[in-house]
């Protein structure tokens, strides 16, 4: 350990969240001396994946209303009394996100060769939970959202007139950012997408809900400009890696897996990793005019190291942030009806999305949520639960009633999935908590220190998260040539390395 103090570090990175880990990946071929620490005993920070035992411990540490500033109000329970669940058989994601196939993140993982250490699974159908149609109906039902022109054409629940309007919109949005389409919406860019769909394409409330669900808007009030961009991303991502899906999910833990692959690449490149160790204090050294400024970094184990640069996560929110209420549930059914392959030649999906639009009646008393509720359903193929079970990740913007609404939404969803009047699937384990995030990710750079903001709470990966990572890389590589900047996160295979084990220890 003494050698760490004697080493002149080029960069000390604090935290193994997604951005710090991608930063480590970007520096993995630089030859720089890098020390990467994390006060947690696990990788991933807010994007972490935890076993049941780790979830129980994590919840106990985040149970107050304030928590650690990022996570709060956590409570883990076993409604089914399943005390014998094997902790290691489960891996629950704290902040699961879909990744659209045209995401810049996937492009960077490919150009850096990091993709070889990841297994991507198809995200299948998007559904809307619809309330019972009549008094005699016993439960709500799921309606699959058509997201291609072929889907619309074969749908039997949409009227011919509505189909024409929907087909017209799908054709429009594919080229929404070019003339003459821009002339149609530019003056109404700030209006709600719902009003634009109603006025311009005469779409009814049900079809508006279908389209807005595909944007994964947290408040359901997405603007026309942002909404068109989101739908365009979804439609143009369809079929990129195969028929029938527009997004993927990394197996074994989503973005946590991406973070671990970035850290593994950093370790192969010579970086030193220390879990359970954070930064206690940072002091500038008094540098002479002819020498660059350095930092004395005091670690939580009271060791002091010297570094030319420091990159870390914010750890706590500053100012106003968004808060998302999450309910994660393990259920005793594989829920096969929502993981069906609906396109010939498509891979079997491991993830499905269910939306409950704002105002939808929940439960017998008919209460409704102010904001949409989304459920990401993960089959056992995602590697997060045993065969024959499923993990449901529900979320909605935090309100005083959010937890109760999520609980009712879970019950309604399970009731809609019960087959042949059987009992609904049972919840074996559930975790409720609240998470704070930002609308737009950023990085604060001061001299040779960079501090990332919290991440957005989006349910689909936001490529804006990548911009602060590149800014931090440019800070550390201030004198990089244009050629070096052009080669950012573009790596060749390591000499003598097999494609399958390039990052193996």
Residue 100 lies in a domain: no
Is there a domain that residue 494 lies in?
Answer: no
Q: Does 98 reside within a domain?
A: no
* Beta bridge pairs of residue 396: 325
Residue 1 located in a structural domain: no
As a residue count, the chain comes to 505
**What pLDDT shows up at residue 133?**
60
* Domain-ending residue, one of 203, 237, 271: 237
| Whether the bond into 180 is cis, omega within 30 of 0 | yes
Instruction: Give the C-alpha separation, 412 to 329, whole Å.
Output: 13
Q: Are 289 and 355 in contact (CB under 8 A)?
A: no
Q: Which residues contact 420 (CB under 8 A, 6 or more apart)?
A: none
245, 369: one domain: yes
Helix (H, G, I), strand (E, B) or coil at 6: helix
133 and 158 co-located in one domain? no
Q: What are phi and psi of 187, to 5 degrees?
A: -70, -15
> Are 132 and 211 within one domain?
no
Q: Which of 237, 265, 299 is the last residue of a domain?
A: 237
Per-residue pLDDT of the chain (505 residues; tens, 9 = 90+): 458 888 999 999 999 999 999 999 999 999 999 999 999 999 999 999 999 999 999 999 999 988 778 999 999 999 866 677 898 999 999 999 999 999 999 999 999 999 999 999 999 999 999 876 655 555 678 989 887 777 777 777 788 888 888 899 999 999 999 999 999 999 999 999 999 999 999 999 989 999 999 999 999 999 999 999 999 999 999 999 999 899 999 999 899 999 999 999 999 999 999 999 999 999 988 665 455 678 999 999 999 999 999 999 976 766 667 899 999 999 999 999 999 998 888 999 999 999 999 999 887 778 889 999 999 999 999 999 999 999 999 999 999 999 999 999 999 999 998 866 678 999 999 999 999 999 999 999 999 999 999 999 999 999 999 999 999 999 999 888 999 899 999 998 766 555 444 444 4
From 400, 420, 437, the end of a domain falls on: 437
> Do 246 and 341 reside in the same domain of the chain?
yes
Residues 6+ apart with CB under 8 A from 481: none
Range of the domain at 340: 52-89+120-146+238-250+322-437
CA 64 to chain centre: 24
Task: Give a yes or no: residue 408 inside a domain.
Answer: yes
| Same domain for 424 and 347 | yes
Residue 344 falls inside a structural domain: yes
Helix (H) or strand (E) holding 230, with range, is helix 224-237
CB 182 within 8 A of CB 176: yes
pLDDT of residue 502: 45
Residue 375 sits in the same domain as residue 385: yes
DSSP 454: P
Give a yes or no: residue 113 inside a domain. no
265 lies in the same domain as 300: yes
Predicted local distance difference test score (pLDDT) of residue 286: 65
**Residue pair 414/338 in contact by the 8 Å Cβ criterion:** no
CATH number, residue 204 = 1.10.405.10
8 A C-beta contact, residue 297 and residue 282: yes
Co-location of 211 and 357 in the same domain: no
Number of domains comprising the chain = 3
- The pLDDT assigned to 503 comes to 41
Q: What's the half-sphere exposure (Cβ side, CA atoms, 13 Å) at 470?
A: 15
CATH number, domain with residue 30:
3.50.50.60
**In this structure, what DSSP letter does residue 192 have?**
B
Q: Is residue 179 part of a domain?
A: yes
Q: Which residue has the tokens 């573009």?
A: 490
């Amino acid at each position: 350990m003494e050698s760490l103090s004697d080493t002149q570090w080029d960069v000390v990175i604090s935290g193994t969240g997604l951005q710090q880990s991608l930063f480590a990946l970007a520096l993995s071929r630089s030859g720089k001396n890098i020390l990467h620490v994390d006060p947690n005993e696990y990788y991933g920070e807010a994007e972490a994946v935890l076993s049941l035992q780790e979830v129980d411990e994590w919840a106990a540490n985040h149970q107050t209303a304030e928590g650690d500033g990022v996570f709060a109000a956590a409570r883990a329970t076993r409604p089914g009394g399943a005390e014998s669940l094997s902790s290691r058989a489960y891996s629950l994601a704290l902040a699961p996100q879909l990744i659209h196939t045209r995401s810049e993140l996937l492009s960077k993982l490919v150009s850096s060769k990091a993709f070889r250490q990841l297994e991507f699974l198809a995200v299948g159908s998007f559904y809307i939970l619809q309330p019972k149609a009549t008094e005699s109906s016993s439960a709500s039902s799921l309606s699959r959202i058509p997201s291609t022109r072929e889907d619309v054409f074969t749908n039997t629940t949409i009227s011919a007139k509505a189909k024409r309007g929907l087909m017209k919109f799908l054709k429009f949005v594919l080229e929404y950012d070019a003339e003459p389409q821009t002339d149609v919406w530019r003056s109404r860019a700030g209006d709600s997408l719902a009003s634009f769909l109603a006025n311009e394409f005469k779409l009814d409330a049900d079809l508006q809900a279908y389209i807005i669900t595909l944007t994964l808007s947290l408040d359901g009030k997405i603007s026309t400009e942002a909404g068109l961009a989101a739908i365009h991303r979804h439609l143009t991502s369809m079929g990129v890696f195969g028929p029938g899906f527009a997004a993927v999910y990394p197996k074994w833990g989503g973005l946590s897996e991406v973070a671990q692959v970035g850290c593994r690449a950093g370790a192969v490149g010579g970086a030193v990793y220390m879990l359970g160790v954070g930064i206690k204090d940072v002091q500038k050294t008094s540098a002479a005019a002819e020498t660059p400024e350095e930092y004395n970094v005091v670690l939580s184990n009271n060791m002091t190291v010297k570094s030319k640069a420091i990159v870390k996560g914010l750890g706590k929110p500053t100012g106003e942030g968004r808060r998302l209420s999450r309910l994660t549930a393990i259920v005793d059914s594989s829920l096969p009806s929502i993981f069906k392959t609906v396109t010939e030649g498509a891979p079997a999906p491991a993830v499905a999305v269910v939306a409950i639009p704002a105002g939808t009646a929940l439960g017998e008393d008919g209460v409704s949520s102010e904001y949409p509720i989304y459920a990401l359903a993960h089959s056992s193929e995602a590697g997060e639960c045993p065969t024959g079970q499923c993990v449901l990740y529900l979320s909605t913007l935090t309100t005083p009633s959010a937890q109760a609404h999520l609980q009712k939404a879970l019950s309604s969803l399970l009731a809609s999935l019960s087959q042949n009047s059987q009992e609904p699937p049972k919840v074996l384990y559930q975790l409720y908590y609240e998470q704070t995030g930002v609308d737009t990710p950023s990085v604060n750079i001061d001299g040779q220190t960079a501090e990332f903001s919290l991440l957005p709470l989006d349910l689909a990966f936001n490529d804006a998260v990548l911009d602060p990572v590149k800014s931090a890389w440019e800070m550390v590589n201030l004198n990089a040539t244009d050629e070096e900047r052009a080669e950012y996160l573009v790596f060749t295979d390591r000499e003598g390395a097999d494609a399958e084990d390039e990052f193996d220890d």
